[in-house]
Amino acid sequence: MAYDDTKTPLLPVNDRNQPSSPPPPPPPFSPKSMATLKNFYILLGPLLCAVICLCVTFDGPTTSRNMLAVTAWVFAWWLTEAVPMPMTSIAPLFLFPLFGIASADGVARSYMDDVVTLLLGSFMLVLAVERYNVHRRLALNITLRFCGEPVNPPFLLLGICATTAFVSMWMHNVACAVMMMPVATGILQRLPVNPTDGSARAATPINNFCRAVVLGVTYAAPIGGMSTLTGTGVNLILAAIWKSTFPEAKPISFNTWFLFGFPLALLIFLALWVILCLLYLSKGSSRALAAYLDKAHLKRELDILGPMAFAEKMVLAVFGTTIALWMTRSITEDIPGWGALFHGRAGDGTVSVMVATLLFILPNGKQKGEKLMDWNECKKLPWNIILLLGAGFAIADGMQSSGLADILSKALDFLEQVPYIAIALVVCLISAIITEFITSNDAAATLLVPLLSQMARTANVHPLALMVPGAIGSQLAFMLPTGTPPNIVGFTTGHIDIMDMMKTGLLLKIVGTAIVSLLMPTLGAYVFVTKGGLQ
């Protein structure tokens, strides 16, 4: 339905001149029809809330107990998906006022912040990239450079995976996986894949190369997203909760995160490439692929797109401008960046929304008066992620204002005697396990990161020293198809099975956890200034 058309009614209007058949009678109601597992999950949230309110007592204000009860309600619905996640994410808007945790206006402000506007503008830019097929042209151009003559399978795999990781740095990893997988499978279409009985594939060099490419794109998307603040929702959730919990501290800017996130993602990416080469690329791969895959095929794919249009050039120019503004807003203490001209009032979200606005002003060169973007394209915005980010703000604010954060901090006194390196490793592992088997990356980060900030206080370490490993760990969901949406995108291609994901994902999860645990006390301590506690 065209909702923007004022002549189109919002509700359907029946034509009285045409006969209509009576609707079928509804099935008779019975109590048994209500006894379903989904209805039990719906009741589970309020039941947990009621049990906590009746049975739990704290040495503190009543609001701290109410906050714990509401948190249990919200996370029960998140974990079971009894109610759609976007609706669960806005449940604090009515639960917090009803339980006396925050006013309606106070909790509503949590859902709109500079970090949220950063995400909104970034998604609009991604939609413009999708609209003009810029990602496909970029992927084919970069991959063409890596193909080799004759074909070199390890370097071709590196090119495809590196392209995916690069694209994922600037857009959400789910969107990147959805866009890049057709590019990758299009390259594989020329290869003769020989299925065997069931879902398994014959262990030929060609089939193994196909597995490596699909697994590479599947995992390179979330790994590339770790590099930048906008690459994945978890990074934004971390920045939002940090800013909300410690408003007096220096916020995590785009530039700050990139200094840590890019080396981290680069090391995990190289580990992914080495693992795939060892598991799936044999010495005979080049000879087997040479007859079916060469630069000519990639050039033909590029020729189909034709020369770069004016609209594509404009989107690329806007894209490059956005990255440059993000990277130069705040550089170092000696070189403050352009943000100093506005006395700290401009944030990364300011850039994101300003650039998104330009998309609706600049012409696309196709028809007179037509712009690069129109609002109909923005109906594809992923509001579920935006609302989940707002819920993370609300829960973090509620834990602070209700006093629950202080109570949780006192309950973790025993961690004072535990070495930091052990805590960071365990935190990363727990986060990786939760996101693999229980809930989504974003929900896991929203659940764990506020708790980790209090745990860090108790252990006498800088909060980011635990919050960052917890957030990164929640993105290491590589083992199961259901672990994260990019995993589902790769699994549905039919080139890989669960054993491929289990084998490769387990190795990548172990290596990724080790890299995070080693980088956080070294590079992380320098970038986030975690030595000597919170400043």
- For residue 347, the 8-state DSSP code is -
For residue 252, give the 3-state DSSP assignment: coil
In a domain, 58, yes or no: no
In a domain, 70, yes or no: no
Token output for 206: 């060609």
In a domain, 100, yes or no: no
Total number of domains constituting the chain: 1
In a domain, 259, yes or no: yes
Residue range 340-396, pLDDT digits in tens? 888 878 877 788 889 889 999 999 888 888 889 988 888 888 787 778 777 877 887
User: What integer is the mean pLDDT of 299-323?
Assistant: 85
In a domain, 237, yes or no: yes
Residue range 265-302, pLDDT digits in tens? 999 999 999 999 999 988 777 777 776 666 777 788 78
| pLDDT for 29 | 59
- The pTM for the full model equals 0.68
Distances (CA, A) of 403 to 67, 92, 399: 9, 17, 6
Of the candidates 132, 193, 129, which has an alpha carbon nearest to the alpha carbon of residue 167?
A: 129
- For residue 363, the 8-state DSSP code is B
- Under a CB-based contact definition with an 8 Å cutoff, are residues 521 and 421 in contact? yes
In which domain, by residue range, is 444 found?
A: 114-530
In a domain, 62, yes or no: no
| pLDDT for 96 | 93
In a domain, 22, yes or no: no
Element (H, E) at 387: helix 383-402
Distance separating alpha carbons of residues 29 and 513, to the nearest angstrom = 52
In a domain, 59, yes or no: no
